[in-house]
């Protein structure tokens, strides 16, 4: 093998899935790539000798394999798995990745292997190639909260109990996926990147995006209904995103009202990193949930309406509108960098308009007054007598953003 060959790390249990891991290892190495294996097995004998043993994983958290086995035997299986996950995370992120020994990671597992693998994969930066082949990849167990990154999830059609034509098909798919990404993909392009959060009910993106790009900025759009909010927050912490237009942080209401929030902890990275950011209450006044859960929210006496087959919407209470404003103010009050707030007083999204189903002037007024009374006095707040979808809003927001982003201009 040449010294400049890229290396893929496979993570899995060599006592229960060793035959499958060896199959994938051989495919990867047949594509002019190196392959390392990290063993997560606890009880049975490894199918073959790994590059990183289970003993090394246990040692990373000052444990022995026997200690972890004893914990599992005592019924404290979750403690054993947690320790195993911490050890794998430390070795992958603090040893192999930092030292440049790996160029991509492929994980295989059932529910236990998936839980351990996700912790290790989350510790790797956005942009680093990561593939997870899991029997529970597409299930309620693998919630976006546990993913939080750009992981390629592959759902096999059958469980892994040795090799057969179906399992070989899925193992080959996973192997080819990580191999092709590692061989062909380039690193994330340098910026200066500006992020804009939005959803389809908001129409400010084209004008603001064009205005920023004309000034030489690179613009990325984050879909606030999805897990992309978490990815965006991570990219800010990685130093890739230099400025933020957080114009649709409506995940905040989801956390308060109990909706399907895929990106908890929003509006924190920009504050922590001190990057310039512009904030606005886009889509505050509605929250979403899995369409299957709509009856639960309707039973609370809320107005609900199906958006599509997979997503339902509901109206927050007046108290939840107030609490959303309190949370937003609390987060922004911790800002150390330049920040400005844009408040379109006539409506926060398309359906918050006269004769529309989520028109809520009382809730909007309560939100605005709460924010005004609780936000730090030195934070710039612009009150606009327009709707968020009006051209006036986009133009004024772009003007404020360009002023705040002067220090990071290309």
Residues present in the chain in total: 410
d(CA 95, CA 360): 53
The per-residue pLDDT of the chain, averaged, comes to 94
Range in 75-89, 124-138, 231-245 the model is least confident about: 75-89
Q: Report pLDDT digits (tens) over 317-354.
A: 999 999 999 999 999 999 999 999 999 999 999 999 99
Q: Which residues contact 204 (CB under 8 A, 6 or more apart)?
A: 198, 247, 388, 389, 393, 394, 397
> Where does the pLDDT of residue 3 fall: very low under 50, low under 70, confident under 90, or very high at 90 and above?
low
Q: Report pLDDT digits (tens) over 348-376.
A: 999 999 999 999 999 999 999 999 999 99
pTM, two decimal places: 0.91
Looking at residue 305, its pLDDT comes to 94
- pLDDT reading at 2 higher than 70: no
Domain over 7-184 is classified CATH 3.40.50.12020 = yes
- Give residue 331's region: left, alpha or beta (phi > 0; psi -120 to 50): alpha
d(CA 124, CA 115): 15
Strand order from edge to edge, sheet including 311-314: 287-290, 311-314, 304-306
Burial string for 214-226 (b: 16+ CB within 10 Å, else e) reads eeebebbebbbbe
- Give residue 243's region: left, alpha or beta (phi > 0; psi -120 to 50): beta
Per-residue pLDDT averaged across 232-260, rounded? 95
Q: In sequence order, what are the beta bridge partners of 133?
A: 108, 154
Q: Measured between alpha carbons, how far is residue 250 from residues 14, 226, 282, 287 in Å?
A: 43, 11, 7, 7
> Domain spans of the chain?
7-184, 193-408
- pLDDT reading at 1 higher than 70: no
Per-residue pLDDT averaged across 156-160, rounded? 94
> Where does the pLDDT of residue 80 fall: very low under 50, low under 70, confident under 90, or very high at 90 and above?
confident
Token pair 């006095």 is found at 377
Query: Fold match between 7-184 and 193-408?
Result: yes
Which carries the bigger pLDDT value, residue 190 or residue 143? 143
Looking at residue 28, its pLDDT comes to 98
DSSP characters for 143-185?
-HHHH-S-PEEE--SS--SS--HHHHHHHHHHHHHHHHHHHHP
Which superfamily is assigned to 193-408 in CATH?
Uncharacterised protein family UPF0261, NC domain (3.40.50.12030)
> Where does the pLDDT of residue 89 fall: very low under 50, low under 70, confident under 90, or very high at 90 and above?
very high
């Amino acid at each position: 093998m040449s010294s400049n060959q890229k290396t893929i790390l496979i993570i899995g249990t060599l006592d229960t899935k060793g035959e499958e891991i060896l199959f994938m290892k051989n495919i990867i190495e047949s594509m002019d790539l190196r392959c390392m294996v990290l063993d997560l097995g606890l009880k049975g004998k490894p199918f073959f000798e790994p590059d990183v043993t289970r003993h090394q994983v246990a040692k990373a958290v000052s444990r022995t394999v026997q200690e972890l086995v004893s914990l599992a035997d005592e019924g404290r299986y979750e403690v054993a798995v947690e320790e195993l996950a911490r050890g794998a995370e430390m070795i992958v992120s603090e040893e192999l990745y930092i030292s440049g020994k790996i160029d991509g990671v492929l994980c295989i597992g059932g529910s236990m292997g998936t839980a351990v693998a996700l912790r290790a994969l989350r510790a790797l930066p956005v942009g680093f190639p990561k593939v997870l082949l899991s029997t529970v990849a597409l299930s309620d167990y693998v919630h976006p909260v546990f993913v939080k990154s750009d992981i390629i999830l592959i759902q096999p059609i059958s469980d892994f109990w040795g090799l057969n034509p179906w399992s070989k098909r899925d193992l080959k798919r996973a192997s080819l996926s990580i191999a092709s990404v590692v061989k062909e993909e380039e690193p994330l392009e340098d910026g200066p990147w500006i992020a804009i959060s939005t959803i389809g009910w908001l129409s400010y993106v084209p004008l603001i995006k064009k205005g920023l790009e004309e000034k030489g900025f690179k613009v990325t759009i984050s879909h606030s209904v999805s897990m992309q909010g978490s990815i965006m927050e991570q990219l800010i912490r990685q130093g890739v995103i230099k400025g933020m237009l957080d114009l649709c942080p409506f995940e905040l209401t989801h956390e308060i009202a109990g909706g399907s929030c895929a990106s908890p902890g929003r509006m924190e990275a920009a504050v922590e990193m001190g990057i310039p950011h512009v904030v606005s209450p886009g889509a505050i006044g509605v929250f979403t949930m899995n369409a299957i859960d709509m009856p639960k929210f309707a039973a609370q006496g809320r107005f609900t309406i199906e958006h599509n087959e997979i997503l339902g919407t509901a109206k927050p209470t007046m108290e939840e509108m107030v609490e959303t404003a309190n949370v937003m103010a609390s987060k922004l009050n911790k800002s150390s960098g330049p920040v400005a707030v844009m408040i379109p007083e006539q409506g926060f999204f398309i359906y918050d308009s006269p004769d529309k189903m989520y028109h809520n002037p009382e809730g909007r007024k309560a939100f605005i007054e709460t924010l005004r009374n609780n936000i730090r006095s030195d934070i710039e707040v612009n009150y606009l007598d327009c709707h968020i979808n009006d051209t006036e809003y986009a133009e004024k927001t772009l003007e404020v953003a360009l002023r705040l982003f002067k220090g990071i201009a290309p």
